Structure 1
């Protein structure tokens, strides 16, 4: 169980009564969904950023944009666990897809997040794609 997300953080995303209804008051479900959201985000962020430092932050040390995206992903997982038939369309699915698209942009390097710790240059994964023209076969 992580403590990156505080229960009060959900107030800006979804009403507490809805969370309680979806989890049936079981905080273990909430913890599982939060852990899944954090691990999903780490898989995208860890190539360029110090994901452990990001998600070990507490209170006002947390980056607000990272927290918002994490809440959107966690809320999506909560809704999926509690009421999957309502997930066909809707704001939760849209916000989840937006968060994943944002994470993909961060991973590709198209989006940077100001104020969160980068990995050391030597630790950052570098991807190269080597290509050449197709081999020609000229037979006489």
Structure 2
């Protein structure tokens, strides 16, 4: 499994025996769903934060809010494998809440304390600035 999310992190979200029953004790399935959740989260966070630094953290160096949202997303993907028609409403709600939170982070409505900012070139910073200066082309009114 990846270094950011460990199997023990799932204990706060789902009981281990339920997780093992859903995955049929296949560690590869857990790893695949975790990597998919990380990839999905990177899509939202990469514009504002340095995702390589965020997801390379281990132990207590990990951001707990990102960890919670990522765990909810990974568990949702794991439970969708088992029987999507009988997926718990709580799992759907927690996944949707995580996605809404990520959208708000991407828009800039929410800032995540402790995450390293993305390093941007001056051109990228200028292009992503909320302020733009423009003018009409210069006209020649007399000869």
TM, length-normalised to structure 2:
0.84
Describe the superposition over 1:8-51 as per-residue Cα deviations: whole angstroms up to 9, x where unpaired. 11111000001100000000000000000000000000000001
Alpha carbons of structure 1 residues 115 and 128: separation in structure 2 relative to 1, 3 Å: closer
What SS is found at the alignment partner of 2:119? coil
Task: Please tell me whether the aligned partners of residues 22 and 83 of structure 1 are also in contact (alpha carbons under 8 angstroms).
Answer: no
Residue 21 of structure 2 corresponds to residue 21 of structure 1: yes
- Where does the alignment leave 5 or more consecutive residues of structure 1 unmatched? 131-140
Aligned to 1:57: 57
Aligned to 2:128: 126
Structure 2 counterpart of 1:136: none
Match of 2:79 in 1: 79
- Supply the distance in 1 between the matched residues of 2:85 and 2:6 (Cα, whole angstroms): 27
CA distance in 1, matches of 2:62, 2:68: 10
Cross-structure match for 1:95: 94
| CA–CA separation in structure 2 for the residues paired with 1:17 and 1:38 | 24
Separation in structure 2 between the aligned mates of residue 21 and residue 129 of structure 1, nearest angstrom: 52
Q: Is the 8 A contact 1:54 1:62 kept in 2?
A: yes
Match of 2:12 in 1: 12
CA distance in 2: counterparts of 1:121 and 1:111, whole angstroms? 20
Deviations 1:50-81 (Å, cap 9, x if unpaired)? 01110010010000000000000000000001
Give the TM-score, by structure 1 length. Answer: 0.86
Number of matched residues? Answer: 129
Per the alignment, residue 36 of structure 1 pairs with: 36
